[in-house]
Amino acid sequence: MAYRSLEECLIDLEKNGQLVRIREEVDPYLEMAAIHLRVHEAGGPALLFENVKGSKFRAASNIFGTLDRSKFIFRDTLKLVQQLIGLKADPIKALRHPLKNFNAGTAALKALPKKNPFNKQVLYQQIQLADIPQVQHWPLDGGAFVTLPQVYTEDMEQPGIMHANLGMYRIQLSGNEYELNKEAGLHYQLHRGIGIHQSKANKKGLPLKVSVFVGGPPAHSVAAVMPLPEGISEMTFAGVLGGRRFRYCYEDGFCISTDADFVITGEIFPGDNKPEGPFGDHLGYYSLQHPFPVMKIQKVFARKNAIWPFTVVGRPPQEDTSFGQLIHEITGKAVQQEIPGLKEIHAVDAAGVHPLLLAIGSERYTPYMPVKQPAEILTIANHILGTGQLSLAKFLFITSDDENKLSTNNIEVYFKYILERINLERDIHFYTNTTIDTLDYSGITLNSGSKVVLAAYGDIKRELETTIPQCLENLQSFENAKLVMPGIIALQTKEFIDYGTAIKETAALNDQLSTFNHQLSAVPFIIICDNSNFSSDSLRNFLWVTFTRCNPSHDIYGINSFTENKHWGCKGPLVFDARIKPHHAPPVEKDTAVEKKIDRIFEKGGSLYNVLK
């Protein structure tokens, strides 16, 4: 159905048993986030906090907590949106089947934003930032944050809504050096449209006008995270997905989403930065304090009975995982159609999305050659690493399956396929001194690190080891060898000191294992870690530890490694140093006192007593 407001959506969820109201007074400092996390972890319903300590406004979370709930919210428009995206990729479809695609054309009429100068519900009242629920999610966060914002900016050279950008960039409402009610921190990362707009404003020496919409129809939040091609307005997508044109007006020169629950307006001035953060982020670590643009607040508006939506991020999977699943559901094979030869790609959520990509491509370059080896998949890998936010990937595994039976979604089977075929002397390709995700602290400076492509193709080279080889049982300084999965073994050692020491430690490991190549031929990967029990306990732990804590150029070693004509390889296992380093951000951890405090909500008589049973 076409929701006209966030409240309409929440009422619909409640009628269908997918929302629970929390009557008790709940503190926005840590408690609300802790309740959300516990409910989300159990696959529970959306939550409406009716009594937020220190605020007259209600708050809602876990709205998009499961893919099924997201599909329910957009049940009337999802297929049409998928159809429209399919038509964009293959416009001939519309000519071949005009009647079948008629509804898609009709739905596209909702794409045009509607100027709405009269029905300005969001301007009902002017408030202060401090009136908003001051939700702090994790103990070490720098203050309260907006975690479901729709940040709107316009291109100074092409003003107007059709060339505007709507993105989800976190906003820090309080703490640090920000002057309460007058300033807010605006954090955005690489490859974001707002960066282009700010660059143009800076060149002219002018402030960039920013409008932050919060709430409104749920399609608006999804549009803010949708990876649309440059030049396509998120507001048009919001209209199609929501089944209702995006309504807006202008107030004091700022664009206003008239269906939003809250709107914060302000300006970013050239060179005006302040420390933003820390913030417990979606990799499962705190993003640390760094200088980011300051938004000078102009006005803050709220509609009557406004509801403040929020989400909580942390070690995946969290609610943002469902956003990713919904995006994949909507876009289907759009990325594959953009990159010739790409059959399938999977940004692995358990590893924090950007750190690890798994891909399957075609191998059609040399069908006449008797020996199978990577060729076309290397071209595809370069294309992947040059495409939008995929370019932030740190580890890219890619292969080709001539029988079309392999899937990147079955991660253990995918790794088995790769490990059986990888040639460690040939198939490892590094990209050094390049950009990585802003939130990834495995590099030694912000936004800077390295990448590696592991491209494996051909016949099976080895049967993977399923036990611990004797040579790994009695090592000096390395202990507690654990099988992670066939072909991958975790070794525990003392904590990381510095890279000089790490080089000596791995050299010592090499000295101990260099004569055991035959015994280790079925072990392509060795993971050095702080706790091998934890790293081997589950696939989720292995993925998180290995790929969030490694900077490929610095943390990958090899037994009997060599460099030939600037190509690096190894004759024995590939070694990943997945220990926590001194420059890494600390992992997010729940506060035990807060966990005990929120038990009252889940105990008999509490609002959530029966929800998680």
What is the 3-class SS of 242-271, one letter each residue?
A: HCCCCEEEEECCEEEECCCCEEEEEEEEEE
Strands, sheet with 247-251, edge to edge from the N-terminal-most edge strand: 114-115, 247-251, 254-257
Tokens of 545: 């530890």
Nearest to 84 by CA among 93, 74, 72, 73: 93
Beta strands in 306-418 (DSSP E): 307-310, 342-347, 356-361, 395-400
Superfamily of domain 6-319: Electron Transport, Fmn-binding Protein; Chain A (2.30.110.10)
pLDDT value of position 92? 43
Q: Are 138 and 286 in contact (CB under 8 A)?
A: yes
Give the per-residue pLDDT at 371. Answer: 73
**What region does 30 belong to: left with phi over 0, alpha with psi -120 to 50, or beta?**
left
The number of residues in the chain equals: 613
pLDDT of residue 231: 61
Q: Tell me the sheet residues that pair with 356.
A: 395
Bridge partners, 452 (sequence order): 395, 430
| Residues 21, 399: Cα–Cα separation, whole Å | 48
Q: In which region does residue 388 sit, left (phi positive, over 0), alpha (psi from -120 to 50) or beta (all else)? A: left
Distance CA 574, CA 557 (A): 6
Q: What is the pTM of this model?
A: 0.91
**Closest by CA position to 19, among listed 605, 601, 611:** 611
Identify any residues that bridge with 20 across adjacent strands, giving them in sequence order. Answer: 47
Of 354, 14, 425, the C-alpha closest to 191 is 354
331 within 8 A of 232, measured Cβ to Cβ: no
In the three-class reduction of DSSP (H, G, I as helix; E, B as strand; rest coil), residue 487 is classed as coil
Q: Across the 613 residues of the chain, what is the mean pLDDT of every consecutive 10-residue run?
A: 94 97 98 97 96 98 96 92 67 44 61 84 96 97 97 92 91 96 87 80 92 97 84 86 94 96 96 94 93 96 98 94 87 77 93 93 78 91 90 95 93 98 97 87 86 96 96 94 98 97 97 91 97 98 97 97 96 97 94 96 93 78
Confirm or reject CATH 3.40.30.10 for domain 320-456, answering yes or no: no
Write down the pLDDT at residue 20. Answer: 97
8 A C-beta contact, residue 37 and residue 600: no
Q: Is 301 helix (H, G, I), strand (E, B) or coil?
A: strand
Q: What is the pLDDT of residue 88?
A: 56
Are 412 and 406 a contacting pair, CB within 8 Å? no
**Nearest in space to 352 (alpha carbons), one of 547, 482, 148:** 547
Question: CA 446, CA 554: separation in Å to the nearest integer?
Answer: 15
Q: Do the domains spanning 320-456 and 470-577 agree at the CATH topology level?
A: yes
Give, in order, the Cα–Cα distances in Å from 373 to each of 85, 338, 499: 35, 24, 34
Closest by Cα among 45, 110, 47 to 76: 110
What residue ranges do the domains of the chain occupy? 6-319, 320-456, 470-577
Would you say 499 and 552 are in contact if contact means Cβ atoms under 8 Å apart? no
CA pair distance 32, 308, nearest whole angstrom: 12
**Is the torsion defined by CA of 571, 572, 576, 581 positive or negative?**
negative
Q: What whole-number distance in Å separates Cα of residue 590 and Cα of residue 36? A: 12
Q: Is the peptide bond before 370 cis (omega within 30 degrees of 0)?
A: no
Maximum CA extent, the chain: 80
Would strands 290-302 and 183-186 be described as parallel, antiparallel, or unpaired?
antiparallel
Q: Round to whole Å and give the CA distance between 92 and 558.
A: 51
Angle at 335 between CA 333 and CA 337, to 5 degrees: 70
Q: What is the pLDDT of residue 91?
A: 46
**Structure tokens that stand for 69 in this block:** 């709930």
Question: Do the strands 19-22 and 46-49 form a parallel or antiparallel pair, or are they unpaired?
Answer: parallel
Q: Within 13 Å of residue 566, how many CA atoms lie on the same side as its CB?
A: 3
What's 470-577's CATH class?
A: alpha beta
User: Which amino acid type is present at position 51?
Assistant: N
